[in-house]
Amino acid sequence: MYYMSLSLGDFVYYETNFIKGEGVIIDLSEEKDIKTYLISIPEYNGDYKWIKYNNIKRKLDLSIENKLSTISNFGDWWYGFHKSIYQKLLIEAILN
């Protein structure tokens, strides 16, 4: 069986019984061998949704411009909480 390697700052596509969409991973929780990821969602101004590992369908292969564009549309509060993800993307943009 194939398991995706997911990290903070990865952009992913998810589907649950109720919603589907895209977002960026900002945290991980593992309880009783169940991995759950905290995803920042563009539709909610960067607010969060906990998504179980098996509901994450794939990592998104977005250009650095699309990644920066997505998180730049999050609320003003987002940068203060997630500087490391934003700065990692800025460094990636500079090096490309």
Residues 7-45 have pLDDT tens digits of: 999 999 999 988 899 999 999 998 888 899 999 999 999
Q: Long-range contacts made by residues 79-87, C-beta under 8 angstroms, separation at least 24?
A: 82/26, 82/40, 84/8, 85/8, 85/9, 85/24, 85/26
Please tell me the pTM assigned to this model.
Answer: 0.90
pLDDT at 2 over 70: no
Residue 1 binned pLDDT confidence (cut-offs 50, 70, 90): very low
CB 25 within 8 A of CB 6: yes
How many helices (H) and strands (E) are present in the chain, helices listed first?
A: 3, 5
pLDDT at 72 over 50: yes
CB 58 within 8 A of CB 37: no
